């Protein structure tokens, strides 16, 4: 029997699970589906999960990051609206203000460990 494999988990390493849980609860405006002392999972639509995990070692901020966490919204106006909401929150670090890219409006914020979160319009 063949098993269908689909990417349905985005896992991000964090240094402080409680701080990161509070951050993602704030930006997602939802409670986690699962919480443990080292791993917390949030629903990400359908069967997909977004999870944070302390793992073994603390993330090294000097190591280049080659991925982004993405939040896609229905319209360019929604992207700008969310930016206006988040830019007033002192717990959300804006990395780059909204600008227009080939795929539409986008902006970048960073989580407490420096992971980049890109907000953009749905492709």
Q: For the residues 85-96, what does the mean pLDDT come to? A: 95
Residues in the chain: 123
Q: For the residues 35-53, what does the mean pLDDT come to? A: 91
Q: In this structure, which CATH number among 3.10.180.10, 3.30.930.10, 3.90.79.10, 3.30.2270.10 belongs to the domain 68-123?
A: 3.10.180.10
Domain extents in the chain: 7-56, 68-123
What is the percentage of the chain residues whose pLDDT exceeds 70?
Answer: 87
> What is the tens place of the pLDDT at every residue in 51-67?
998 875 555 556 555 57
CA angle 57, 55, 20 (to 5 degrees): 100
User: Are the C-beta atoms of 76 and 104 separated by less than 8 Å?
Assistant: yes
Q: For the residues 2-12, what does the mean pLDDT come to? A: 73
The residue assigned the tokens 């699970």 is 17
CATH class of this structure's domain 7-56: alpha beta
**Model-wide pTM > 0.85:** no
């Amino acid at each position: 029997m063949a098993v269908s494999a689909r990417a349905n988990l985005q896992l991000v390493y964090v240094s402080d699970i409680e701080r990161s849980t509070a951050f993602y609860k704030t930006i997602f405006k939802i409670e986690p589906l699962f919480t443990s002392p080292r791993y917390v999972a949030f629903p990400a639509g359908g069967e997909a999960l977004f999870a944070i995990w302390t793992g073994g070692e603390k993330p090294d901020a000097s190591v280049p990051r080659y991925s982004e966490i993405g939040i896609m919204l229905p319209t360019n106006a929604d992207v700008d609206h969310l930016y206006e909401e988040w830019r007033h929150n002192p717990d959300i670090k804006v990395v780059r203000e909204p600008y227009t890219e080939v795929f539409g409006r986008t902006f970048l914020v960073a989580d407490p460990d420096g992971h980049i979160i890109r907000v953009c319009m749905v492709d």
